[in-house]
Amino acid sequence: MSPADRFAQLPALLAADADLLRRGRWLTVDCRIDVGDDPFHLSLRDGALAGLERGPRLMRSTAFSFRATSEAWANYWRPIPAPGWHDVFALTKRGAASMEGDLRPLLQNLQYFKDLLALPRRLPEGS
């Protein structure tokens, strides 16, 4: 399964994590996460994933974008990532990822986003 296909399973993974939903209950934002060449548009409402659209959308407004290579996501989602692949900021430091836009919602809810983006680690490695 490709990294983008793993990320596409995010709605089910988040729905199964009551603690993460509770911690994000004050967050409402639209953002874009790129997994390699595949863009994903996330609509988060009160910490829950109200929408996840895969593919490019013309004129779609988002607060911020986080983009990383497929290799970066594959390494980030290992059960125990190697140093330098373990954190979203480590990915940007190594040049495998970038952040742009209004980063305020990301930084104000940093642990929520780190845990949200790490959810695909729970999937078996072969899937």
Q: What is the pLDDT of residues 44-69, one digit of tens each?
A: 999 999 999 999 988 889 999 999 99
Query: What does CATH list as the number for 3-121?
Result: 3.30.1050.10
- The model's confidence at residue 94, banded by pLDDT at 50, 70 and 90, is very high
Structure tokens at 64: 């911020």
Region 32-42 average pLDDT? 97
Contact in structure between 44 and 24 (CB atoms under 8 Å): yes
Confidence of residue 126 (pLDDT cuts 50, 70, 90): low
Residue 127 has pLDDT above 80, yes or no: no
Q: Measured in whole angstroms, how far is the alpha carbon of residue 86 from the centre of its chain?
A: 13
Q: What is the pLDDT of residue 39?
A: 97
Integer Cα distance of 83 and 33 in angstroms: 22
Furthest-apart CA atoms within the chain: distance in Å: 37
Domain positions in the chain: 3-121
